[in-house]
Chain A
Amino acid sequence: MAEKFDNLEEHLEKFVENIRQLGIIVSDFQPSSQTGLNQKLNFMITGLQDIEKCRQQLHDINVPLEAFEYIDQGRNPQLYTKECLERALAKNEQVKGKIDTMTKFKSLLISELGKVFPEEMARYKAIHGDDPPS
């Protein structure tokens, strides 16, 4: 799995470096640079071919669209992962709080109902047994 990403990363880095060098040649062009320019252009095409080959290995990879929004804003996409983890933990804690509160309420309700309706609660406990704390 990691090899597929490493392969793609390598090709992309080479491609970007090639483009950067192409930009340097073009920034102050000289007639002697023409052959180098042609070579870089063909390297660009082979680079795109290599990236196209990597695409087949990664067809099952899904990227969340929200991560794209971070990149478009010039922000670190790791912040998206961080915020996802923080939100998951916060929701986890919230739900745990609800479960704990409902469990306490259930035990309190059973005890109070047992005081007011002892016979009925005895029948209820006989039907359901001693419910284990959830």
Chain B
Amino acid sequence: MTEIFSSLYGQNDAQGPPGSSALGFGPGKPPPPPTQNQVSMSVQIQHQLGDEGPALRKPGAMNEPFYLLREIPVGNELTGNTNLITHYSLEHAYNKFCGKKVKEKLSSFLPELPGMIDSPGSQDGSALRSLIEKPPVCGNSFSPLTGALLTGFRLHTGPLPEPYRLMHIQPPKKKSKHKHRHHRPQDPIPPETPSDSDHKKKKKKKDDDPDRKKKKKDKKKKKNRHSPDHPGLTGSQPNSSNSLR
């Protein structure tokens, strides 16, 4: 007997990890027969399943002839069946935003805000996303500037350099039929300082003005020629005057 046992279990140390030898994975060794413990465990599991079968089922299904028939769950009062907009009293908001046409641009939402706000914030570094990703340093108190600190704000006289000049100019407003001009104090006047672009603009204006005046004069002359109330005709129009006489 001891020889049998030793042949089965005695060579474990020489063969390697005990797990593999217990399972019989050693070379040339048949798998060990199931022990009595394992057999009893399987019987116990079956008994457990048989005895506790009803207990594993939900109480709602135990006493009913239909297997796995559950109780109907208590329904919510608020489901997708109700119109949630009327339920939360959002009709006014819905009509306001969805009934009318909402303008696309940010300047229509903030008409009094100066600057070019309709352009994307990523272009000039004014994006709110950057404020979230890199929040500014908070916690320091705001103290007014003293005389010594204000000396740092002594500026050179004269206009701003070219790249910084357009920052405060508002975008061109659409021409409205009813011209209500609300002049703000110290509105930015178009820069009078000499520059190439201004010269060109001024030249164009000068060229246009005499042309416009000539055109207006010509129109007036034509109107006067054809009007019956005109007192007399000049010599430049002999045919019409002669035909009447």
How many residues on chain B are close to A (CB under 8 Å)? 58
Q: Taking the complex as formed, is A56 at the interface, i.e. its CB lies under 8 A from any CB of chain B?
A: no
Q: How large is the interface on A (under 10, 10 to 19, 20 to 34, 35 or more residues)?
A: 35 or more
Q: Is A127 an interface residue (CB 8 A)?
A: yes
Report if B117 contacts A (CB, 8 A). yes
B109:A78 contact, CB within 8 angstroms: yes
Q: Nearest CB to that of A34 among chain B residues?
A: B154
Question: What secondary structure prevails in chain B residues at the interface with A?
Answer: loop
Residues of B at the A interface (CB closer than 8 Å) are 64-66, 69, 72, 75, 79-81, 83-85, 90, 93-94, 97-98, 102-106, 108-109, 112-114, 117-122, 127-129, 132, 142-145, 150, 153-160, 165, 167-168, 185-186, 188, 191, 193
- Given known A-B contacts A28-B160, A31-B157, A85-B94, A41 and B145 have beta carbons under 8 A apart: yes
Q: Name 10 A/B residue pairs within 8 A (Cβ), A-sorted.
A: A20-B114, A21-B185, A28-B193, A41-B153, A68-B129, A74-B105, A82-B102, A85-B97, A92-B85, A98-B80
Q: How many A-B residue pairs have CB under 8 A?
A: 134
Quick check: B186 and A75 within 8 Å, CB to CB?
A: no
A23 touches B168 (CB 8 A): yes
> Which residues of A come within 8 Å of B, CB atoms?
13, 16, 20-21, 23-24, 26-31, 34, 37-38, 41-42, 45-46, 48-49, 52, 65, 68-69, 71-79, 81-82, 85-86, 88-89, 91-92, 94-96, 98-100, 120, 123-124, 127-128, 131, 134
